[in-house]
Amino acid sequence: MTRPVVAVTADLSTVNWTIWGDVHVALLPWEYMEKVHEAGGAPVLVPPIPDAVDDVMARVDALLMSGGADINPALYGAEREKFTFPPHEARDTAELAALAVAERRGIPVLGVCRGLQLISIIRGGTLDQHLPEHSPVVPGKYEPREIQVKPDSLLGRSLGPTATVYCHHHQGIDKLGAGLVATAWSDDGVIEGAEAEDPSAPFLAGLQAHGELGSDTLPLFEAFIEAAKKTRAERG
C-alpha cells in the first residue's frame, strides 16, 4: 500500500535566500515533514491560500495542522491583548477551511500548538492570550517539559502516562471547545492535549507542545498515520 498523503498547513513569510532578498515563501519547519515521513506518511504543504484549500483537501488522506503565530482573538470573541501578536488572517481562514473539509470528509486530524487551539476555537473554545510562566526563557529555543497524560485516551495509548515534549508557546486553551476532552496537562494544570470526546469519532487530537520534535511523540504520529490508512481503505 502506498503511503497516505498528509496535508500539512504552512505559513507565509519573507526570507533572505542565498542571493535573493525579501522572498515570499510558504514556510514550514522541516521537522514536520520528517516526522510525518518517519511515521509512514507522505507530507504535502497546504499554503495559506483560502481559495485553494478545498481542492487540496479533496485529494489527501489526513490533515496535520502545524504550529505558528497567534490566532486572531476575534475568532473567539475577544480583543487582542498586549502580548498577542498581530493576526495572519489568510492563514487563519485557510486553516479553518482545511479543518472544515477534513471533518466533513471524516479524515484524521492532528493539531500541533496553534493547530490544537484552532480545533478548540472552531467548537466555541477560547484562549488565555498570555501565559508568561509558559513562555520560553530564550525566544526561538524550544524547552523540554514533562506532561501528564490520561492513560485511557487516544493520547495516552500513544504517549503513555507521561511524555517529554518540547514547548514554545505563550498562549493556551482557556475554555475547551464543545465535543472535546482534555487528556494531557502540564504540572500547573494548563491543557497540553485534547481529543474528540466520542471515542468512536474519526481520529481528532492535538498537542499544545511541538509534537514534531523529540522521540516521545512519534507513536502519536504513527497512530495518526494508521488512522489515515484505515480511513482510506474504508473509502475504497
Burial status of residue 56 (CB atoms within 10 A of its CB: 0-12, 13-18, 19 or more): buried
Give, in order, the Cα–Cα distances in Å from 102 to each of 63, 119, 150, 191. 7, 11, 26, 24
Active site residues: 113, 210, 212
Phi, psi of 128 (to 5 degrees): -85, 115
Distance between CA atoms of residues 172 and 151, nearest Å = 22
Distance between CA atoms of residues 92 and 114, nearest Å = 10
Q: Three cell numbers at 104?
A: 466533513
Q: Are 39 and 21 in contact (CB under 8 A)?
A: no
Residue type, position 90, single letter:
A
DSSP state of 73: G
Residue whose C-alpha cell is 485511557: 152
